[in-house]
Amino acid sequence: MTKEFAVPPVVFPSGGNPGAASGNIQQRRVATAPFQPSTSSLSFIPFDIGPAVGSSSSSAGIYGGGPIGGGPAPGNVNFEDEEPLLDELGIHPDQIWKKTKSVLNPFRVNPAVHKDSDLSGPILLYMALCLFQLLAGKIQFGVILGWIVVSSIFLYVVFNMLAGRNGNLDLHTCTSVVGYCMLPVVILAAVSLFVPQVGAVRFAVAAVFVLWATRVCTGLMVSLADGGDEHRGLISYAALLIYTLFSLLVIF
């Protein structure tokens, strides 16, 4: 004979876990994907990419008053107030042209335009001489550059030894003068491409250009520095040696 037991009905809470008691066991959290920020705790600022004016205004609103660093806004830069690129590099074409024109006349050299020495003009003349030598079938870039450096140092030492304590010639000015006075040698290199390379004609033409360069270099050296007027002959001899060497490169 079976005995029946009275079992009370089981009531589950709506939407919950049947094994969890209300108020004692917390509900299980829903699994989320790893490395995902919680959208309930973080708020993101939207950034809209727009024109330069819009970006400057948005940055002013975020950082307070202007872009980072406190400088002018990128959209308000006025490029008309900027200096030309050649002036920033120290290259002045008008000044180079004035100095070149002053060397063209060996009898009326203007030393005033050579007071502000530069190396951009001598570099252009150096490249022109190397180019004419290359057209003649002579690759002498390193030789000409080395001779220019040695010649500038040589003339600088000779002048200051002759002038003594009164000499105020610096190496930068000396290099500029030697470089600009290379213009007759550059013209000689261009003329030698069309002059016959036989006979005494090339030596006569070379002598004219060497005397031209020597006269201009001596006049500029004496005018730009103190203490060299009384030693004009010795300075002319040093300049004659320098430009004779360069003319020999052109002739042979």
Q: What is the pLDDT of residues 116-129, one digit of tens each?
A: 888 999 999 999 99
Do residues 75 and 186 share a domain? no
Do residues 122 and 73 share a domain? no
Indicate the average pLDDT of the chain: 78
Do residues 72 and 171 share a domain? no
Do residues 78 and 97 share a domain? no
Give the residue with greater pLDDT, 232 vs 19.
232
Do residues 223 and 111 share a domain? yes
The answer to whether residue 199 sits within a structural domain is yes
pLDDT at 91: 78
**Per-residue pLDDT at 184 exceeds 90:** yes
pLDDT at 63: 46
Pair of tokens at residue 3 = 């005995």
Do residues 68 and 110 share a domain? no
Do residues 76 and 120 share a domain? no
pLDDT at 149: 94
The answer to whether residue 111 sits within a structural domain is yes
The answer to whether residue 155 sits within a structural domain is yes
Residue where a domain terminates, one of 30, 63, 82: 82
The answer to whether residue 11 sits within a structural domain is no
Give the residue with greater pLDDT, 178 vs 61.
178
What is the number of structural domains in the chain?
2
Whole-angstrom distance, CA of residue 236 vs CA of residue 168: 18
pLDDT at 243: 96
Residue % of the chain over a pLDDT of 70: 67
Mean pLDDT comparison of 89-98, 141-150, 166-175, highest-scoring range: 141-150
Do residues 215 and 110 share a domain? yes
Do residues 197 and 112 share a domain? yes
Q: Which domain holds residue 72?
A: 48-82
The answer to whether residue 57 sits within a structural domain is yes
Do residues 119 and 232 share a domain? yes
Do residues 106 and 143 share a domain? yes
Whole-angstrom distance, CA of residue 143 vs CA of residue 169: 26
Give the residue with greater pLDDT, 130 vs 225.
130
Where helices occur in the chain by DSSP H, the ranges are 52-63, 85-88, 93-104, 120-135, 141-163, 171-180, 183-191, 201-224, 232-251
Give the residue with greater pLDDT, 228 vs 244.
244
pTM: 0.66
Instruction: Average the pLDDT over 28-32 and give the result.
Output: 54
Instruction: Average the pLDDT over 212-224 and give the result.
Output: 92
Write out the DSSP string of 99-166: HHHHHH-TTS--GGGGSS--SHHHHHHHHHHHHHHHHTT---HHHHHHHHHHHHHHHHHHHHHHHGGG
The answer to whether residue 55 sits within a structural domain is yes
Do residues 75 and 189 share a domain? no
**Per-residue pLDDT at 4 exceeds 60:** yes
pLDDT digits (tens, 9 = 90+) for 32-76: 555 555 555 555 555 555 555 444 444 444 444 445 555 555 555
The answer to whether residue 27 sits within a structural domain is no
Whole-angstrom distance, CA of residue 117 vs CA of residue 180: 10
The answer to whether residue 30 sits within a structural domain is no
pLDDT at 3: 65
**Per-residue pLDDT at 224 exceeds 80:** yes
Exposed / middle / buried, residue 234 (Cβ in 10 Å: 0-12, 13-18, 19+): middle
Instruction: Average the pLDDT over 76-88 and give the result.
Output: 68
pLDDT at 230: 82
pLDDT at 107: 85
